[in-house]
Amino acid sequence: MYLKSLTLKGFKSFASSTTLQLEPGITCIVGPNGSGKSNVVDALAWVMGEASAKSLRGGKMDDVIFAGTSGRPPLGRAEVALTIDNSDGALPIEYAEVTITRTMFRNGGSEYAINGQTCRLLDVQELLSDSGIGREMHVIVGQGQLDQILHATPEDRRGFIEEAAGVLKHRKRKEKALRK
Ligand code: ATP
Ligand code: MG
């Protein structure tokens, strides 16, 4: 399984339809400051169901829709399509290729589709839940987060690892129980 392509249409700074073809292995995106590199990563999180405007570096959800520039009027909708190669059957669906689409209108909610079939966010989450990708999997490390980890105290660093491993809540519970 690997991410095969990502198409952004009216998403943040990508007013015109833009497709990135990806290959198995590592992809690097390079470009000047403000050219839209982080917007591409935001699009990945968004199409997989990201529901927090803050995680998408915005104030409200419709900040992901192209807001216009001096030469180009704002758009009314944002659309992102992510195509995943599933020829190894890692995703629980009978297709060798899966395309997840999310669309959002300025005054409405989000619509999702899997291979062109309208579906719920829950269906997208279920599709991705055992794959190691998806919204809650801590697979997207934001700009600055790496610095935070490198400069953290050993105690904080242990906390990050415990959080990722899912043991933090159990340790908190244990500490609470021992205090009683
Ligand atoms: P850096 O190297 O500084 O991290 P970057 O390549 O990651 O830069 P981004 O943060 O992806 O850059 O892009 C920022 C640009 O996207 C800004 O110019 C901002 O105005 C533009 N942008 C963000 N949201 C929208 C939107 N809704 N409509 C139009 N442009 C937007
Ligand atoms: Mg950036």
Higher pLDDT, 104 or 141: 104
Say yes or no to pLDDT of 140 above 70: yes
Find the 13 Cα to ligand 1 centroid distance in Å: 6
pLDDT for 35-84, tens place per residue? 999 999 999 999 999 888 888 899 999 999 999 999 999 999 999 999 99
Q: pTM of the entire structure?
A: 0.84
Say yes or no to pLDDT of 4 above 60: yes
- pLDDT score recorded for residue 135: 57
CA distance 82 to 43: 9
Residue 82, token pair as written in the block: 């992510």
- Asked if the ipTM is above 0.90, the reply is yes
Find the 35 Cα to ligand 1 centroid distance in Å: 6
Helix (H, G, I), strand (E, B) or coil at 72: strand
* Sheet architecture: strand order including 77-85: 18-21, 2-9, 77-85, 97-105, 110-114, 117-119
- pLDDT score recorded for residue 180: 78
- pLDDT score recorded for residue 161: 82
User: Is 32 annotated among the ligand-binding residues?
Assistant: yes
Q: Any idea which ligand is nearest the CA of 13?
A: 1
Say yes or no to pLDDT of 28 above 90: yes
Which atom of ligand 1 is least distant from the CA of 13?
30
Residue 82: exposure state from Cβ atoms within 10 A (0-12, 13-18, ≥19): buried
HSE-up of 1 (CA within 13 Å, CB side)? Answer: 17
pLDDT for 92-139, tens place per residue? 999 999 999 999 999 888 999 999 999 999 999 889 887 777 655 557
Helix (H, G, I), strand (E, B) or coil at 155: helix
User: Is 68 annotated among the ligand-binding residues?
Assistant: no
Say yes or no to pLDDT of 170 above 90: no
